[in-house]
Amino acid sequence: MNTYAKTKLNKVRKSDRASYDKETVHAILDEALLAHVGFTDNDWPMVIPMIYGRIGETLYLHGAKAARIAKTLGKGVPVCIEVTLVDALVLARSAFHSSMNYRSVVIHGMARQVTDADEMTQALAQITDHLAPGRWDEARPMNDKELKSTGVFAVPIEHAVAKARTGGPIDDDEDYALPVWSGVIPVRHAFGAPQDDGRLLDGVEVPASVVETLKRHA
């Protein structure tokens, strides 16, 4: 199946903006930098920004074991993961039709603590490489103490939907007679020149992971 099943959790009211296509969902997940992870803690909703990595139909999250989110996700609770890319501000002739161009994904699933050592390593590598492809192999590997203090969580992409708005403003017919500017302002994540920390050993150059990161977001 190339699409996610429509369920109570991922069904979108305005279906012209929704897609259940797996490739569409994956592409947004792979391009974005941050996930906004929602869960319930003592009857209060919590939303935390987290980095993540995707392997197939599983999203991986990580956090210090001492952190609230790690303690909660470790219990196997339902979570919601939202990821959004802002593409443009859309200024219509009316305030009402003004909008934003974006691509977003909302996923629901049950979190699972990763305990298998191999899966944990693969997940941490993917989370690292998600932001800077190839970085895991360049950096000093994680040692036992670091692994022991880190909680890794898997969220199967059980219920998922992508939403997107594209294109210019769409005004009411009669509003095109108004002397009001209308159009879009494009927005994107711009990556600047890498700045080393001033403590590099002689001969160490900008690595492939940084070059690849800049190329991806050029």
Residue 59: closest CA among 39, 76, 81:
81
Contact 113, 153 (CB under 8 A): yes
How far apart (Å, rounded) are the C-alpha atoms in residues 161 and 142? 34
Kindly state whether residue 37 participates in binding its own copies, applying the rule CB under 8 A: yes
Kindly state whether residue 38 participates in binding its own copies, applying the rule CB under 8 A: yes
Subset of 93-132 contacting its own copies (CB under 8 A): 93-96, 98, 100, 102, 104, 106, 108, 124-125, 128, 131-132
Strand partners, 48: 37
Binding window for its own copies (CB under 8 A); candidates: 19-27, 39-47, 53-61, 112-120: 39-47
Kindly state whether residue 44 participates in binding its own copies, applying the rule CB under 8 A: yes
Size of the site for its own copies (CB under 8 A): 96
Kindly state whether residue 5 participates in binding its own copies, applying the rule CB under 8 A: no
Kindly state whether residue 67 participates in binding its own copies, applying the rule CB under 8 A: yes
Kindly state whether residue 181 participates in binding its own copies, applying the rule CB under 8 A: yes
86-91: Cβ within 8 A, 24+ apart: 86/187, 87/166, 87/186, 87/187, 87/188, 88/184, 88/185, 88/186, 88/187, 89/184, 89/185, 89/187, 90/165, 90/168, 90/169, 90/184, 91/169, 91/181, 91/182, 91/183, 91/184, 91/185
Binding window for its own copies (CB under 8 A); candidates: 20-28, 53-61, 75-83, 112-120: 75-83
Residue 5 has what DSSP assignment? P
* Residue of 15, 176, 215, 216 that binds its own copies (CB under 8 A): 176
Kindly state whether residue 155 participates in binding its own copies, applying the rule CB under 8 A: no
Residue with Cβ nearer its own copies (54 or 106): 106
Contact 39, 69 (CB under 8 A): yes
Residue with Cβ nearer its own copies (44 or 56): 44
Residue with Cβ nearer its own copies (96 or 116): 96
Subset of 183-202 contacting its own copies (CB under 8 A): 183-201
- H or E element at residue 45: strand 44-50
